[in-house]
Chains A and B, each alone.
Chain A
């Protein structure tokens, strides 16, 4: 779609951002002959020597199919580990994309694992909702995390177009301009729907906003979609899963797909979200939903990162990034895409912000200088995946059920990772600043204080 077509056709833009899975790991199987062999840039043959990773003991390990289950531990995905994973070859100047096992062995203090978690390939039976989306809508097979690093910098890029961090850190996030500020400045209605605590609990400037109607429980999305007046129904919607790194899960489990959690609960969350957003067919007809993952989470992918540099913004100090991060799954759910379609244009999370500016900015207005620079370096707008001439169709019905994961979520690690500690710190500080108001709005916070 052109910017004019976006302005004339799309009324509601939705972003669903999950956690920590790579393209090849989660949906690379779509192109395997045994699963239909779709014509997209996924996996063709798990025995392809170019997919093998060396291990510390000198043997080579190939990717393998694996059922959905809790993993023994999380995978490395911080900046230094991603450097190992993408494996730039000094003698060649190319990226070998085969350092995922070495990074895992270093991170976990193990070696000699015959089937290391980074090389797991998910299979269709465990992904009924994702398979349904990929079958009915458009898969982007060249969508990258913006930066070769972890959650916090990549989410800041997705939600702000800049990141003052190059690595995730303990404690609250530093304040920076976010898409919420941009939308508010432009008078655009927006809202976050969350299955748990918002990621933006980590940023203190967001606390007063999270206490308003700008944040609602995911449970109310279906009702709002069907009954809320057009005058207040948001034009931009952010749907957040229940994050594994938060200390309280009122439903008993997280659903963000962050390892070591299985993905079954995420499949249920995605189905629930889709059903809610499509429950009003009139609104669906002018809707574009982007489902993607913040970063690869330590899982392998064969596609090298793209040369899109990123220098630290004013006030931040870190070595500039020279490339995007690792490729992640991205599926566009909309009546403006064809069934079983694929877009192989280059995208990253700032593609979403490009489209926000096209739809809601002034004529010719860009989202920001950084997002424009990335566009100049080849990053396309999300709108490039949409087709104004796609044949109209009602929202297809999702699978009736999703499987319950083989085992329920078991936390197999201490709550001391950077993100876990950050969420705990944020809850304490949020409560200290806003007291009972915070506990009343977020039952997770009340539960946290009641049970600790």
Chain B
């Protein structure tokens, strides 16, 4: 093994470690919006990159290693950041979910969330919808039990609450509220369920019917 080979090998390891491009973050805020609303794309990468979208106009051009770009998509689309250099490449994709007029979105929380509580009779989860993720022009038109959920779920949001049941699967009592804020979902446990059994639900989910303010 000659010194030159060793030196080149060392260089390959060190250069790959120090020079290979990487994307540390690439986010869209908010990422659930009404058609045409503004979204800020922001990214942090190790080198300059190329920004693109799946929906036209697809090419958004070359961008610096870190920065922001405002976009206003009219349909659900994927944004992609690609970075390349001699040592390799990296990429990230993020979606913006665009609602036109109205649409539904599953909202809920895992029972592993620290805010979850379980008493002998009730399981409760808390889901926080933040303005960094949800457009401020999205309002609630109603809530529904998802197709495969067949249990009572009590829903609290803002200063109102409602109850969804397998026999009454939708409610408009929350209509008009902003989607942003705290959603508290709770369900009574049936006789076969206790807080520690594997059969207990792993999450609670409802469908929120969203409406875009004109």
Using a CB–CB cutoff of 8 Å, the interface residues on chain A facing chain B are 45, 47-50, 52-54, 56-62, 72-73, 87-99, 108-115, 304, 411-416, 420-421, 424-425, 427-428, 431-432, 435, 449, 452
Q: What bracket does the count of chain B residues touching chain A fall in?
A: 35 or more
Given contacts A57-B32, A97-B202, A428-B6, contact A108 B88 (CB under 8 A): no
B198 A94 Cβ-Cβ under 8 A: yes
Is B24 at the interface (CB under 8 A from chain A)? yes
A452 to B11, CA, bound (A): 9
A425 to B13, CA, bound (A): 7
Closest to B117 in A: A91
Given contacts A48-B148, A49-B205, A54-B203, contact A109 B112 (CB under 8 A): no
Question: Cβ of A50: which chain B residues have Cβ within 8 Å of it?
Answer: 201-203
A33 → chain B closest CB, angstroms? 14
Question: Cβ of A420: which chain B residues have Cβ within 8 Å of it?
Answer: 16
Question: Cβ of B9: which chain A residues have Cβ within 8 Å of it?
Answer: 427-428, 431, 449, 452
B87 A414 Cβ-Cβ under 8 A: yes
- The contact of B116 among A72, A89, A414, A435, by CB within 8 Å, is A89
B134 A54 Cβ-Cβ under 8 A: no
Given contacts A110-B26, A415-B88, contact A87 B128 (CB under 8 A): no
Is B76 at the interface (CB under 8 A from chain A)? yes
A431 to B5, CA, bound (A): 10
A62 to B146, CA, bound (A): 12
A80 → chain B closest CB, angstroms? 15
B31 A57 Cβ-Cβ under 8 A: yes
Closest to A414 in B: B20
A19 → chain B closest CB, angstroms? 19
Is B23 at the interface (CB under 8 A from chain A)? yes
A111 to B9, CA, bound (A): 38
Using a CB–CB cutoff of 8 Å, the interface residues on chain B facing chain A are 1, 5-6, 8-13, 16-17, 20-28, 30-32, 44, 76, 80, 87-97, 105-114, 116-118, 127-130, 133-134, 146-149, 183, 195-198, 200-203, 205
Question: Cβ of B30: which chain A residues have Cβ within 8 Å of it?
Answer: 57
A109 B196 Cβ-Cβ under 8 A: no
Question: Cβ of A432: which chain B residues have Cβ within 8 Å of it?
Answer: 1, 6
A99 to B80, CA, bound (A): 24
- The contact of B92 among A98, A109, A435, by CB within 8 Å, is A109
B112 A421 Cβ-Cβ under 8 A: no
Question: Cβ of B28: which chain A residues have Cβ within 8 Å of it?
Answer: 111-112
Given contacts A58-B107, A91-B195, A114-B95, contact A96 B21 (CB under 8 A): no
Given contacts A52-B205, A94-B196, A411-B89, contact A45 B148 (CB under 8 A): yes
- The contact of A72 among B22, B91, B114, B127, by CB within 8 Å, is B91
Q: List 27 A-B contacts (CB under 8 A).
A: A47-B148, A49-B202, A49-B203, A54-B113, A56-B133, A57-B31, A58-B128, A59-B108, A60-B107, A72-B93, A73-B90, A91-B118, A92-B111, A92-B196, A94-B198, A96-B111, A98-B202, A110-B27, A112-B94, A112-B133, A412-B90, A413-B88, A415-B16, A415-B88, A428-B10, A452-B9, A452-B12
Closest to A429 in B: B9
B11 → chain A closest CB, angstroms? 8
Closest to A56 in B: B133
B203 A111 Cβ-Cβ under 8 A: no
A184 to B111, CA, bound (A): 49
A59 B26 Cβ-Cβ under 8 A: no
Given contacts A60-B108, A89-B112, A96-B202, contact A109 B24 (CB under 8 A): yes
Q: What 9 A-B pairs come out closest when comparing CB atoms?
A: A414-B20, A112-B31, A109-B25, A57-B133, A87-B112, A414-B88, A60-B106, A96-B112, A114-B95
B91 A73 Cβ-Cβ under 8 A: yes
Closest to B146 in A: A49
Question: Cβ of A94: which chain B residues have Cβ within 8 Å of it?
Answer: 111, 196-198, 200
Question: Cβ of A49: which chain B residues have Cβ within 8 Å of it?
Answer: 146, 148-149, 201-203, 205
Question: Cβ of A414: which chain B residues have Cβ within 8 Å of it?
Answer: 16, 20-22, 87-90
B92 A57 Cβ-Cβ under 8 A: no
A437 to B17, CA, bound (A): 28
Closest to A101 in B: B110
- The contact of A54 among B6, B90, B94, B110, by CB within 8 Å, is B110
B22 A110 Cβ-Cβ under 8 A: no
A112 to B28, CA, bound (A): 7
A99 B133 Cβ-Cβ under 8 A: no
B128 A99 Cβ-Cβ under 8 A: no
B160 → chain A closest CB, angstroms? 18
Closest to A110 in B: B94
Closest to A449 in B: B5
B88 A59 Cβ-Cβ under 8 A: no
Given contacts A50-B201, A113-B94, A452-B8, contact A99 B110 (CB under 8 A): yes
A196 to B97, CA, bound (A): 43
A115 to B54, CA, bound (A): 14
